[in-house]
Structures are given as C-alpha cells and as structure tokens.
Structure 1
Amino acid sequence: MLNHLFGILLFVQPSQKFFAVSFHRRRYDASRWLRSILLALVTALLVIFEFNLNLAIQIAVPLTQAKSNSNQLNAQSLVAQGQKLYEAGDYTQAVEILQQAIEAFQASGDQLGQAMALGNLALVVKQLGQIQASYNYITKSLEILQANRNVETQNFASLQVLAQTLEIQGSLLLELGRTQQALDSWKQAVRIYTQLGDEVGRIRSSINLAQAEQTLGLYRQAQRNLEQLVDSVDKQPDSVIKITLLRSLGDVLQLVGELDKSTKVLQKSRDLAQKLRSPDQLAATLLSIGNIYRASGNRASEQLNTFSEARLTPLHCRTSNAQQPISQEASQAYQQAVQYYQQAATLSKSPVGQIQAKLNQLSVLLEMHNWSQARLLSADIQPRLSQIPVSQTAIFTRINLAQSLVCFKQTTNADIPEWREIAQDFATAIKQARSIGDQRSEAYALGALGALYLETKDLDNAQKLTEEAFKIAQTMQLGDIAYLWQWQLGYILRIKGDIPGAIAFYNQAYDTLQSLRNDLVALNPDIQFSFRDNVEPVYRQYVDLLLLPENRASGIVNNKQPKTNQKKLQQARKVIEALQFTELENFFREACLQPVPKQIDEVVDKTDTTAAVIYPIILKDRLEIILKLPTESELYHYTTNQQANEIEKNLDKLQQLLTQPDRINDVKKLSGTVYNWLIQPLENKLANTNVKTLVFVLDGSLRNIPMAVLYDQQDQKFLIQKYAIALAPGLQLIDPKPLQKRTFNALIAGVSKEREIENRTFSPLTYVEDELRTIQSAIPKTEELLNQNFTRKNVQNQMQAAPYTVVHIATHGEFSSNAEKTFILTWNQLLKVKDFDKILRLGNSSKSRAIELLVLSACQTALGDKRATLGLAGIAVRAGARSTLATLWSVDDESTAVLMSKFYDELENPTLTKADALRRAQISLLESDEIPYLWAPYVLVGNWL
C-alpha cells in the first residue's frame, strides 16, 4: 500500500513553459529574432514539459518506510509552500523554503525526499538563470539516488524519482552545451519510464530527446522520432500530451522548412486543444501557427534579394527599407501571423504567455512597416514587464522589447522613445541578471547595451561594455553569445581604424562559428535563411578586412599581391568556402554535409594543368577576384570598385534578358559589362598561360548567370568561345576523377505529357521524346523510363539493379532557395531535393559505383527567387553525382536534343573533359543560332574532368 504522493508538480503551469530545457546555448543569435526573441524561445518552450502537470519530482513512499516524525511532516509542508511560491513567481523565496525542506528531509533520514526536494530546487534555481548552481543541485540529487540504486528496497517510487531527475539533468546539460550527455540522460529516463510502464513519462522524455537532436543539427532524425511518437499515441485517449506532441512535431517541421506540413500538424494540435477546452494549450499552439506564417513572410521577403541590407553589427536592425514595398505574398503571410498572435494573447491566462504573443506581433508589425500600430503595441507591452517576476524569462523579455524599440528608431528615425529610455531597459536587464546570478543573461544584456552605445557613436563605452560581455561569455563558454561580441568588437575597432585588431576579433568570431558548426543550421529556427543575418555578415565583413585595398581610387586596380599577403588571400578563400558550405547545410536544415578533402588547387596543380579557378567575391563596395593558376603556388588578387547594389542590378537585368530571344544585343551589352568586371582584369595573366578551362566558384547573383554568356566586346566573342567552363559549389570537389572509360550505362527518364500535380499544371514538353531517342542513339546501353513509367519506385528499382554511370532526366524541374520548392517532376509526384540521396545513392553506395554524370535538361530557376541556384547546388551535392549538368531555364525546343546529342558524342572522345564536351556542344549550337536563350542555359557543376 502506498502513502499519498507528495512533492512539487514541477511547479509549472502549462502557460509558463518550463525553462529547464528551453534556454540552451543555441537560442541567443543575432538575427531578426533579436527583435522577437520569444519567437525562438516559444518553439522550445512549447516542446518541453509545459504540458505535463504530473512531472514534478514526486515520490510514493510505502507506509512501512515512511517516518511520520515532525521533521518529515515539516519537510512536506515546506515543499507545499515552495510550490505555491513558485506558482506565484516568487522564486527567491521558494529557494529559501526548499532549502529548509531539504534540511528537514535530511534530519528525518528520508533520502528519497531529500533527492526529490533537491531536484525541485534545481528547477527553481534554473528559473533564476543560475544554471551551474542548478546543475550542482541536480548532481547531488542523483548522487543520493545512485547510492541507493542497488539497494533491494528500491521500488517504483525511487525509480520514478530517478527518471524525473535524469530528465532535469538532461535539460541542464543541454543548457550547458553538453548536448550528447543530455541525450544520454534522456535516453536513460526513457528506459526507466518504459520499465515502469509510464507512457506519459516516456513520451515526454522522447520529446526532449528530439530537442537535443535538433541542437545537434539532426532535424530529420528529430522529425522521424516525433512522427513515430505521434503514431504511438494516435489511438490513445485525447490528452494534453497529445496536444503538445503534435505542436512539437509541427515546430520541428517548421525548422526543416516543411511549412505546409507543419501547418497541418499544428492545426490538429489546435483542434485538439479546442476540443479539450484548454485555453493555454490553444494559445501556445496558435503562437506556433503564427510563427509559421511569420516564417513564410520572411521567406517571401528574403527571396527578393540576393544580399540583405548589410547587418553591420549583431543588434543592427535589418527590416526591409522603409521606402521599399513589401511583396504581396509576404504581406499576406505577415497579416495572418498578426491575427494568430492576437488570438494567442487574448486566450493566454498568464502574463508571460500574453507578452510572448504581443512581442512576436510587434516584430511582425515592424517587418510590415506598420509603425503606428508598432508604437501603440510597444506602449502596451512596456508596463506589462513589471507583472513578470525576475527570472531569465523576464530579463530576455525586457531585452526583446528594447531591441524592438531600437529597430523602430533605426528604421523610422523617430524621436520617441529616446535612446536613454531604451538604454535604461538594457541596464535594468543587467541589474536583474546580476541580482539572480544569471551570467548568460548578463553577458547578453551587456553586449546589447554596448550595441546601443555604438548606435549613438559612443565608441569607447561601446567597446568597454562589449569587452565585459565577451569576457563573461568566454568564461562561461557561451559560444553562441561570444561570437556576437567578438563580431561587435571587430566592427568597433574597424571604425576606430585599428584594422589588425579588427581582423583579430573577426578571426575569433569566425573560429567560434566554425566550432558551432552543428548549431549554425539551428541558431535561429525563425526562418530558413536566418543565417544570412546571424552568420553571413561575419564572414563577409571578415573577408572585406582581409582583402581591404590600400588604394581606394576608382576604377580597376590590378596588382599581384606581394607574398606577405598570400596568407590573407588563402584565409579569404577559406572563409568564403566555409560560408558557402554553411549556406548549403542551412538549405537542407541539416548538419549533414561532409567536406571532401580533395581541393581544387590539387586538381589544377596535378590532374588538369590547363584549368584555372576564379573566385569572385561580392562585397558592399567592390568586387574582389582571386585567381588560382595551375602549378603556381601564389594566388592573384584583383579589385573592381563597383557597388554591390549596382552589380546586383545589372545581373538581375541580364538574367531577365537571357530568357528573351529577341534581346540579343541587350544581352551582349550587359554581359559585356559583367565580362569587364570579372574577366578583363585577368586577361593578361590568362593569356600568358596554357589555360583552356575556367572553373568558377561563384558568389551571390553571379550564380544566376551562365558564365558562358559573358561577352568580350573587343574580340566580339562569348566566353564559351574562348574557354571551357565549369562551376564548383565550393573550393572542394565531389570526388574529382576523370572518366575512367567512355562506355556508358545510362538511365534516361522524362515526362513529355501535361501533368497536374500538387495543384500545379505542368505543360507538355514536346521535344522530350526526341531528346531521349537521341540519347539512346548516342548511348546504346540505356534503360528508359518515360511518362507513366517514370515514378520514384521505378527509379529506385533501376538504381538498385544496375550501376548506372549516367542518369539523364528530361522533365520539368525547379531550383529554389527553398529546399521544399526544389524538385523534379515525375509522372505522379514532385520529387523533392531532400529525397534525391534516398533514390540516386541507392545504387552507388560505394565510390566505385558513383554516378559520373547527372543531367537535368528541362529545369529552371524559380521565378522571382534571386537565390534560386542554391537549389541547383543542393541537387548537385545531394545526388552524390561527380558532375551535374543542368539548365538555368527550360528550353522546350529541338535545340536541346541537338545539343545533348552533340554532348554525348563528344564525351566519347577520351581526350576531352566533360567541360570540353559541353563547350563543343554549345559552340555547335551557337554557330547555327547565336541567340543565348537556346545555347547558354547549360551549366556543368562539380567535377569537370
């Protein structure tokens, strides 16, 4: 027979969203989220514990073991008091009461009660932001439990307390950045709950496991595990845990970019919350749905620009230019987000929940340029801050509001509020952080105040505050905060004219970011492109400093860099490579890419000594070009003084003209301008070498332009008429090897008929069947999958059955900066880029069976998406093919079949590389019709050998 349960039910109401797991090291980033910090927090807070009213470390003690003495009764009474204080938000007093309870349990000899009280004390101290102290308490609790674990009297109660304590330990380990150990703690908890038959505990710990997987960048794994959990509880009675589980899955789906699927799952969570009449749960889910629409709006805004308005410092506001109109798609999404946030604020019963919703709404209003509503809402939020007891939540809520006010002033130049008022909010946050010993919050608030002084041009105080913030972050090993202030210090020193000092801090920030590689895709779950605010400015500003020209004269400066600068040139290439690598991981929302050790330098020095590599880097005020020539150890460096916005404007216009067959003269004029920027500075150097192939590692909007079309107005030749051309997704290649044999085994597939898939109509491709017949003539050993035979299952079966060296697909496809919108059309579905490896890698698990060439001959870049070629790079990497030949726009014309026939014919020549074969095919077409629309869209990505 068991005595009554006692202990603290985690002291947590659903709307308060237990913090033991949510505030971990990856949540404090420098993106737009700095204006809406709780948007990111909410995702985690909704995941962890808040649904559970029975998680408190509770124990049931058999009557034969219970010691009904005054000390034990007093201890139980103190625990009950502690719970009430916690629920009232009086954490400081709750700590004192729980410490008394621990002493009383100890005096009564009740070790289980002592362990339980220590665990609950750890929770309360965690709410105060004292992570290390909290971890010390939970460690002591576990020591007591582990010491008695092998005792024969161990029972259900002690195992339950052990499992719950392991859960708390996991949350604290995650907070301390020890993610793998957190994962292990939760795994132990899952095993114990399974042993006890505690389904709620098992599911709760499994949700936490998924949270740790996300921190490791393993979004897809977290998604799979949560989907399995959803399946396992599907037939169980409706409950709060099902609401939260669905919301957790919905939030993860948002993080991996599956916004449509996320919305559907969150709607299920919402419907269940309405059915169970749980207003706080409903408010939490509505908040998540609002986040989905906000993410959609941000994505729509981001796709319109290759380069964001440069974020100069970590806290510099980067809403769209106040004079620049917002796209209709973004505006509609933002309006939906505001509506859901308003509903969430109305339904929530807790001050914290209300403020969370209002702060998220405020950040969206700023994105919408709705200044009047933003001013009114900020005035409504300000007095509400006093309703939240001092805790880490309260501190970051205050910082969030202050940052939104900074953004409001930066964007509108408004007089109200005054800078000193905003500074006072940051100062209050610092004071509160110190009062509860929360060094994470203190480090962040100090740096934020330093950013405010930087905004008002008080560089000395800005530097002092940032240095203090950095010191705390460094001491506490808070990498996600440390890199912000390393960045900010580098920027301050640059303004002060201390370039070496600035470079040193930017290098530190870069190193810190590299050490956080798994977290880079997770720094901000707000939007897929968030790294452009969080990370990209650090890399680009660092490269800017490394390549800073001594001579700022206008025009083009051509000079071979002296040997003393070679180190800087090498480092600049390395940094840009890291940025591109991170960009691809962010595209997939997975830290899943492994660098290939084979460097391009090695290839052009040893394997193909007729190839040169060109690295254009677009910076705010200039175009930097680094040239690597074969067999030469030194790099060459050229600067074209041209503003980035002017470069982008010209490239955007050229991209439009290329798809208009009757605008060839305009194409030559604009592509000639780009040629003068990019190639003309290198002409003399290239002319004195035996270079026949140019390999480009492109940056920004240059990726949207086929380099073949650049026009030399002096010689009146397109670049393809002078050189073979290839693109590399980075400085490292995908297994670069020459073709070993010229007898190919090809899988060819296509869709020629009109199809309607996922509410989209795809027009018939008249010449696809001709194209496939042409390939069959060129490559006798082929297997064809046409129209209804071209299905995912059939492709998988073929890839498993034979080691194809060539996979040629002629069908509609689209490259997008959004992985979910990057696809190729099969007969019955849109095959997404994220599934390419599951299909095309089936038959080439070993390198010896690698696909030599993947051809996508009817694809195009997404209309209006200036970063769409990121999808092409994603396909090239995901498919695992050594080379990918694709089109930047679709050409439904017999010319495609002609070009492909010529390409495969030339490829049989053992003296030619793939780049040579493509060049000859393009020139053959060009000589019969000069219109670039027909011959220029083809680009070779990856191994050109």
Structure 2
Amino acid sequence: MTKITRIYYQNSTNNRKRKAKVKTLLHLPLYFLIALLYILGSPVLAKVPDAINSSSQLTNTTITNTVSASSLEQGKMLYDAGRFAEAVQVLQQAAEKYKQQEDNLRLAITLSNLSLAYQQLGAWTEAKQAITGSLNLLRASNKKQNWQVLAQSLDIQGRLQLAMGEAEEALATWQQTAEIYKQAKNHNGVVRSQINQAQAWRTKGFYTRAVKILKEVDRQLQSQPDSIEKAVALRSLGDAQLVAGNLEESQDALNRSLMIAENLKSQPHIAASLFSLGNYARTQQQIKQAINYYQQTIQVSSSPLVKVQAQLNLLSLLIQDREQPLTVQSLLSSIQSQLQQLPPSRAAIYAQINFAQSLMKLSIGDRDRKSPQFPVFSPEQIAQLLETTVQQSRSLGDKRAEAYALLSFGSLYQKTQQLPKAQSFTQQGLVLAQTSNAQDIAYRLEWQLGKLLRAQKDIKGAIAAYDAAVESLKSLRNDLVAVNQDVQFNFRDSVEPVYRESVELLLQSPDGNLDKLLDKARQRIEALQLAELDNFFQEACLQGESVPLDRVANQENPTAILYPIILPEELQVIVKIPKQNLQHYSTKISQTEVEEVLTQLRKTLVNPAATNAIKNQSQQVYNWLIQPIESQLAKSKVNTLVFVLDGSLRNLPMAALYDGKKYLVEKYAIALSVGLQLQNPKRLIRQQLRALTAGLTQPPPDFPNFGPLPAIKSEINLIASAGVSTTSLLDKDFTRKALENKVNTVPFNVVHLATHGQFSSRAENTFILAASGPIKVRDFNILLRGRDESRPGAVELLFLSACQTAAGDNRATLGLAGAAVRAGARSTLASLWQIDDESTALFVGEFYRELQGNEITKAEALRQAQLKLLRHPNYNAPCFWSAYVLVGNWL
C-alpha cells in the first residue's frame, strides 16, 4: 500500500494568461511526493519510496524572494538525494527568512516540508512541532485561497500520525483532507487522500476496506488519461490485494501500474512497480522471477536507498537458495559501500539491520549448510554494524528503530552463545518497544527473551516471557494478519513457533497445578489453530455463539476429546474424558520422524492394494494417540472421539487408525474440531431434511486435470431416495449465480455439493468447481453466511463430495477447515482425497438414510456409512471409506 504526502512549493502563476505575462518569474516545482511505507515496517523487508512530481497549481501567489526560493530548491534537491539532515538545515534557514519577512504562507509551506524531512530522520518531536506550526499559521489566516495549501499540510500531518502509530488520527486527518479537495474540485487531491485513507485502514487491519477504497479509486481513474496518481493507485491496490490474498488481482494491478509508469517514462515509478512485483513473486515463491524483478529495480532506480533495498532483498533470496556465490560476493561489496553513503534516517538504519541479519544467516546460522565458496563475516564485524545502527537510532531519538537494532543484537549474541549479553540487549529492546507501543516488535523480543531464559534453565521466567509474547500477539487486534506487512510476516516462521514452544514449556514445567497447566496448553494450541485460520483468510474468522467442547462432551453422548501436539522432540497428547481431569502422555520421537511416518501413511492410504502396509503404519500412529488410554475409554463407555488435530496429523483420517484387530471407526464415531469451542452446538432436529444439491458430472474445459464424474446423478438420486427433500442444480444449471439464487430463495438445512474441489493451505487455491468455473472458499461467505442461522432454515450440514486435498501440500487440510468455517455451516463433511465415484454414491446414500431415519448423531451416521463400505467386498480397502471426515458439530 502506498500513502501519499507532498513536499511542495508555491507556484509562480495563477493561470495560463498570467503565466504568459510573467515569463521572468522563477518557476519552482509545485510538489514532490514521497511514500515512506518502509518507515512503519520492519528492517527485514523495506519498501520503495514513491517520488511523484505534479504540475498542478496551488495558489496565485508569486515567489519574489529568489534567495529563499533557491533555498527551497536546494532543500528539495537534498531531500531527493536522501540527504535529509542537510535538507533540514537548508529548510530551517528558509523558514527563518520567511519568519523575518512575516510571510506566513511561505513559512507554513516551508514548515510542512521541514516536517517531512524530520520524519525521514525519525525526529518525531521536531516533525510534530513543524507541522503543528504550519497548520496553526494556515488556520489563523483562514483564507479560502489557502485551503489547498492547508490540505497539503494536513496530508503531511496524516503521514506523521501514521508513522507514529496513530492510524485512527491519520484516517480522520485524511478524511478531512479529502473534503477540502472536494470543495476545491481538485480531483487528484481527492484521489491521493483516498489512497492515504486506504493505507490507514490497512494499518488498522481492515484490508478488505482498504481494497474496497482502492478499487473505487481505480474505477474513477479508468476513464482518465495515464498519470502518476493512477500508477500509484494501482500499485497501492496491488500491494493491498497481495496482503488480502487476492493474488490474481494483485498481479494484474501491479502490472497495470508498471505499464502506466513505463508509458509516462517515470523512472521512480517504474522502479517502484518492479519492486512490488518482486515482492509479489517472492511471496509466491517464484524465486527466479523475484530475482529478475529486483535486478531490474536496481538497474532502473536512481535512488541510492531504493537500490540498496532491492539489493538486500535480492541478497536474502540468494542466501536462502545458497546459489551464485560470486553474485553474493559482489552484492555484499556493493551493499556495504552504499550503506556507508546513506545519511542517517530510519530507512537507512533498517537497511543496515537487514544487512546484518543476512550476514548472520550467511556466517552463523545453518552451519552445516555453509559453503566455503560464500564469504564469512565474524560476529565482531556484524556487532560493529549493529552498534552503528544503535548509535544512529539514539542520535535520531528513534526508539522503534533502536528496539529493532537491539532485537538483532540480542539475536547475534544468542547465536554465538553469549547468553547474558543477549539477554541484556533483548531486555533493553523490550523496554523501548513497550514504551513505543510497538507490539509487533515487543512480541519478538519477548519470544527471544523466553528462549534465552529457557536456555539458562529459568523455566518459570521463560514461561512468563512466552505468556507475554502470546498476549502481545493477541493485542495486535486479535488478528495476526493485522501485523504490518513490512515485518516480512511469515506465519510459520514468525508466529507459529511462539505458540508451539510455549506449549512445550508448559508441559515440561515441574511447578503448578497439572490440570491448569494442561488446560493452558490446550488453550494455547487452540489459539494457534484460530490464528492459522485468520492467517489463511487474512481476516478474523470464527464469530458467533460458542460453547467449550468439555461442556458438550459431558452433557451429550460419552465423548472423549484428544489434543495431539507435535513438538520438536516428542509427541504429546492431552485427553479429556467425561467427568475426569485432564491427563496427558507423550512419546519421545522427533518432529521429523513423526512427519515422515505421517507422510508415508498418507501416501499409502490412497492405494487400494496396500491394506497390510496401511495396518502396520496406522497401528504405529494408533499407539501414539490411543493405546495409552484405550482401557479408560472402554471403562468410561466412550462412544465418540473428537480430535483437535495438529500439524500433519490433520492430513490423516483418524478412522483408519488400527489397533491390531480393528480400525478405530469400528469402535467409535469420530469427528474433528477446529478448536476448543464448538460453534452453535445444537443437535440436528429430527425433521424432514431438506437438501440443496448441486452436481457437475463433466468439469469445465479449462480444468483438464479433473475427470468426469458420471455417478454423481446416481448420488443425488440416492439422497432423494433416502427420504431427503432435494432441490437440485445439475451440470450446466450448476453455476455460481444459480447457486446463490437458490441459497437465497429455497428452504434447506443441508447443502450437498457433488463436484470436484481442492483444499489447499492457500485460500486462493481452495475451491469447488461449478459449470461457470471455480467457486473459491472466500466466496462461501457470500453464498451461505447470508442466511440467518437462527431461523429454521439454518445450514446444519455442508457436504463436499468428490473433493481432495492438494497433492504435496502438507497443510492442505487447513483449506478444509477454512471451507468449514467460511461456510458458516454447523458441520462440514468432506473427503481428504477423491475416490471412486460409484463407492461415493453408495456411501452418500447410506449416510443420508442413517441421518434421516435414526435418532443418531452426525458422527454416528458417518460411522455407519463408512462401515457399510468397509463391509462391502469391493470397497473394504481404507482408501474407499476412510477419506471422509466430519468437521465441527458432531451432534
């Protein structure tokens, strides 16, 4: 996302007539515009600044003092060159001259520009004083002809507010700016204000709203000729769509932005768009394309800062892949040289920290992977670089930048096993982050502190530090996607380990009440799972009434709840049996070994001829999860097992676990839950089931990888023959629009979609096929959540038949959980892999007969349908019956 602010000069003319008459007057550029998104972000992934120059006219006042005017021009040149401290000196001199001349308008303009220069230096107090002085002068004059100057100064104030973490105030400021521009009929000004407002919404975590604003801006500008504003708006839209997970839309907007910048021959904006495209490719793991975009950025950009930012991102990719040592060596030399020439500013500090982090990965991290071909830097050299960043941060009074520097300092000493030093730097950084209200930095420092205390055997202190890190994550608007994108936010690397390591510590703690510790551990795992879903959708997902699983399990059919947790060196299982305290047991086995077994079993399960191998492999998993409590389950007469699965376990159907004599499904009804809370935990009222069914026997031609499903007609007929009232959409009638129409007009409590579909760890790759094309999981919200769940027509069950998890995606079942949540249905029944469609038809018919005809739970109806196939001579292999899983309300 790009926010727009301008340094500007008073124009020398009012209109064309006057311009023709006053040819001898000094003409100065009216604006220059910059976007400093990287100031709000992490040193890990810096952002490109935007430098937009406009020829629009502000006022009809003529600059007559050529000395002061040249000072302003000199200030602009220094600012453009990134020499912000020198720009401050020149602008201060110009301000003093205007003050002596009592020229308040030019003084106000100069103070606004001075505020921008201070902001680049991270001198927030001085920046605030300068912009406040400018606004006070402009408001005191209260002249209508100065309103647009006021709007420009408000633009700069909004930028400062956002940089200081005051997103709400920045939004209000930019809304005020937009109103002024509307009154002045300044269309470009309105557009800039809308782009800025979108940035504020995004910073607040409201990505959907930011995208909506930018789409409206795009719509307004489509009929307009190419302009810099148009290029910026499209680039902002592309960046926002990338954060929101709308990848096709993101790429399209960024490509359009690049095309406009190229048409306008605007080198700064060509470089900015190339940089954003590089970030897009990097997010998509398109490493070669990302490298190419960053290399182009380096070639095109005339800004030293932009060049070094692109070089740093390029360096991190090359280090990651351990390729091209000669290129790495050349980059290191170039980056070192350019960093030394950058004037002190927050962006320069972040670039240096970024460089230090890359050097740590190159020289200290992954020692086994190091190659003698790559240069090695000593810890002392890296420490010297970080010491410079700390000193520069302090000289600028930038606590946030200093906190980042101290975080990296602590990390350096942690890697070199100088733990007391590492702890000291980490604690210093934590104080700064907390006093700066920088929770996105604080949680990393708290996490680092927890690891350091744990390494020093201070388990109690480590638990407290991890607790604080988790609370800091919660405070990020309870929505992890709201963490500033510039933190190079990677859920699996930056968030998931905090929860997982915290659970490991809790389970190792020798102190405290065991039941409370176990409850805290499983709550933390639930928080992790909900955070995964939020990250999957880029927004908070679970809403509405929820009831703890324990309460439901104790009140309904005897139900045990199992929480397997995969830790680095062991597999832990927490179990809740009705009317008993929580208990846990563990198996000493590495996470790598666990995942190898689970991956192999998942591959074997789909082979109909591998029954014996399946039994052997699944018995090992059974021994981990069930065997230690099988006697207690029998004694408590448990008939249903609910699993809150972790990691790769989610890719396996628990029904296929084998005890040496029987499969688990032969003894228990089985269901899955996303967390410890059950949404709308009501039993299915025994009434006439009404199903909205949709099926596709022949996929659209654009999807040749999906074969025909001729048995779907039989499947839908079997649903009707089971006594279920059906409204059907088949083949060409099954379009998204037709489905949406039926959802809103037909009474039903079951949605049965018999068509190809795919679950993935990425929301954009999770979809079902209709005749009109894919319906993505994000659209389930539009299709089904519009119904009022409190009315009799609530969606009790979403059945996704013939779907499958994405091949090679170890977290693909996250898409299944996402589909369940997004649909708003109380239960979702789906297959983990696509199976023979004739056996599917048989299974579906039996499931609905059980559900319609007997007073049983959905989980038990699923079990009976699975047993039907298990006992069938043609379909008794686990690949046919075990693929089906029930997520959500099992009652």
Equivalent residue number for residue 124 of structure 2: 131
CA contact (8 A) 1:748 1:784 kept: yes
Deviation at 1:251, TM superposition (A): 1.8
For 1:933, which of 867, 872, 879 is the aligned residue? 879
Partner of 2:711: 767
Match of 1:636 in 2: 583
Q: Partner residue of 2:425?
A: 465
Deviation at 1:726, TM superposition (A): 0.5
Which residue of the partner structure matches residue 347 of structure 2?
A: 393
Cα gap change, 1:840 to 1:768, in 2 (>3 Å): same
SS in 2 for 1:268: helix
2:505 is the alignment partner of 1:545: yes
**Which runs of no fewer than 5 residues in structure 2 stay unpaired?**
1-9, 15-25
Q: Given the two structures, how large is their TM-score scaled by the length of structure 2? A: 0.92
Pair 1:582 & 2:531 matched: yes
Determine which of 683, 702, 709 is the counterpart of 2:656. 709
Q: 2:145 aligns with which of 152, 156, 163?
A: 156
Match of 1:89 in 2: 82
**Shift in Å at residue 596 of structure 1?**
4.2
Asked if 1 retains the 8 angstrom alpha-carbon contact of 2:45 and 2:488, the reply is: no
Match of 2:188 among 192, 196, 200: 200
Residue 404 of structure 1 is matched in structure 2 by 358
Deviates more, 1:876-885 or 1:685-694: 685-694
More divergent stretch after superposition (172-181 vs 72-81): 72-81
Correspondence for 2:749: 805
1:503 is aligned to 2:520: no
Q: Flag the 1:727–1:457 CA change in 2: closer, same or farther, 3 A.
A: same
1:742 CA drift (Å): 2.5
Q: Is the 8 A contact 2:507 2:521 kept in 1?
A: yes
Partner of residue 515, structure 2? 566
> After superposition, what is the alpha-carbon deviation per residue over 1:553-610, rounded to whole angstroms, capped at 9, x for unaligned?
xxxxxxxxx971222222212211111111111111224543644221222233x151
Q: CA deviation at 1:842?
A: 3.0
Alignment match, 1:18? 35
- In structure 1, C-alpha distance between the alignment counterparts of 2:848 and 2:758, rounded to whole Å: 24
Distance in 1 between residues matched to 2:451 and 2:866, nearest whole Å? 47
Higher relative contact order (CA 8 A, sep 6+): 1
SS in structure 2 of the partner of residue 717 of structure 1? coil
Q: CA deviation at 1:12?
A: 4.9
Cross-structure match for 2:19: none
1:653 to 600, 610, 616: 600
Partner of 1:37: 45
Answering whether residue 800 of structure 2 is matched by residue 856 of structure 1, we say yes
- The 1:927/1:276 distance shift into structure 2, 3 A limit, reads same
Paired with 2:236 and 2:888, the residues of 1 have a C-alpha distance of 38
1:416 aligned residue (367, 376, 388): 376
Residue 291 of structure 1: how far off its partner (Å): 1.7
Distance change >3 Å, CA 779–CA 221, structure 1 → 2: farther
Instruction: Tell me, yes or no, if the aligned pair for 1:524 and 1:530 is still in contact at 8 Å.
Output: no
2:291 pairs with 1:338:
yes
Moved more, 849-858 or 221-230: 221-230
SS at match of 1:811: strand
1:132–1:779 distance in 2 versus 1, CA, 3 Å = farther
- Report the counterpart of residue 565 of structure 2 in structure 1: 617
Deviation at 1:98, TM superposition (A): 3.1
841-850 or 748-757, which moves further after superposition?
841-850
For residue 667 of structure 1, report the CA deviation from its aligned partner: 0.5
Question: In terms of mean alpha carbon deviation, does 498-507 or 919-928 score higher?
Answer: 919-928
**1:377 is matched with which residue: 309, 328, 331?**
331
Whole-Å Cα distance in 1 between the matches of residues 518 and 440 of structure 2?
27
Q: In 2, are the aligned partners of 1:754 and 1:762 still within 8 Å (CA)?
A: yes
Q: What code does the residue aligned with 2:483 have? A: L
How far, CA to CA, are the matches of 1:483 and 1:9 in structure 2? 44
The runs of 5 or more residues in structure 1 that have no matched partner are 29-33, 298-332, 551-561
SS at match of 1:342: helix
Measured in 2, the distance between the counterparts of 1:477 and 1:842 equals 38
Mark the CA change 1:268 to 1:688 in structure 2 (over 3 Å): closer, same or farther.
Answer: same
1:681 corresponds to 2:624: no
Q: What corresponds to 1:263 in structure 2?
A: 251
* More displaced stretch, 201-210 vs 524-533: 524-533
* C-alpha contact (below 8 Å) 1:844/1:850 kept by paired residues: yes
Question: Paired residue for 2:729?
Answer: 785
Shift of 1:135: 3.0
| SS of aligned partner of 1:286 | helix
Q: Is the 8 A contact 1:806 1:854 kept in 2?
A: yes
* Structure 2 residue aligned with 1:475: 435
Report if aligned partners of 1:218, 1:591 keep a CA contact under 8 Å in 2.
no
Distance 1:2 1:402 in 2: 44
Letter of the structure 1 residue corresponding to residue 35 of structure 2? F
SS in 2 for 1:639: strand
Structure 1 range deviating more: 371-380 or 612-621: 371-380
Alpha-carbon distance, 1:814 to partner: 0.3
> Residue 547 of structure 2: SS of its match in structure 1?
coil
Q: Deviations for 1:622-677, whole angstroms, at most 9, x for unmatched residues?
A: 11111122244x31122221111111000000100111000011111111000000
Find out whether 1:362 has 2:291 as its counterpart. Answer: no
The answer to whether residue 681 in structure 2 is matched with residue 736 in structure 1 is: yes
* Residues 172-251 of structure 1: pairs in structure 2 closer than 5 A: 172-251=160-239
Q: Which residue of 2 aligns with 1:60?
A: 59
2:475 paired with 1:520: no
Report if the CA contact (8 A) 1:98-1:121 is conserved: yes
Give distance in 1, aligned partners of 2:447 and 2:295. Answer: 36
Q: Does 1:439 align with 2:383?
A: no
1:179 Cα deviation from its structure 2 partner: 1.8
The answer as to whether partners of 1:166 and 1:186 remain within 8 angstroms in 2 is yes
Distance change (3 Å), C-alpha of 1:529 and 1:886: farther
TM value normalised by structure 1: 0.87
Q: Secondary structure at the residue paired with 2:388?
A: helix
Deviations, residues 251-301 of structure 1 (Å, cap 9, x unaligned): 22222233333223222222222222222221221122222222221xxxx
User: Are 2:652 and 1:699 equivalent residues in the alignment?
Assistant: no
Give the deviation of 1:418 after TM superposition: 1.5
Pair 1:360–1:536, CA change in 2 (3 A): same
Judge which range, 652-661 or 402-411, deviates more.
Answer: 402-411
Q: Equivalents in 1 of 2:444, 2:614: separation in Å?
A: 43
User: Does structure 2 retain, via aligned residues, the 8 Å contact 1:616–1:697?
Assistant: yes
SS of 2:513's partner is helix
Query: SS of the residue aligned with 1:885?
Result: strand
In structure 2, give the amino acid aligned to 1:926: L
Give the secondary-structure state (helix, strand or coil) at the position aligned to 1:614.
Answer: strand
Q: Say whether the 8 Å CA contact 2:459–2:509 is kept in structure 1.
A: no
Matched AA of 1:710 = L
Verify the 8 A CA contact 2:483 2:489 in the aligned structure 1. no
Equivalent AA in structure 2 for residue 708 of structure 1: A
SS at match of 1:23: helix
Q: In the TM superposition, what whole-angstrom CA distance separates every residue of 1:796-825 from its partner, at most 9, and x where no partner exists? A: 111110231001010000000111110000
State the 1:437 CA deviation. Answer: 1.7
Q: Deviations over 1:75-113 (max 9, x none)?
A: 656444433332343322332343344444444444443
Stretch deviating more after TM superposition (207-216 or 693-702): 207-216
Determine whether 1:119 maps to 2:97.
no
Shift of 1:74: 6.7
Q: Percent identity?
A: 45
Matched, 1:886 2:834: no
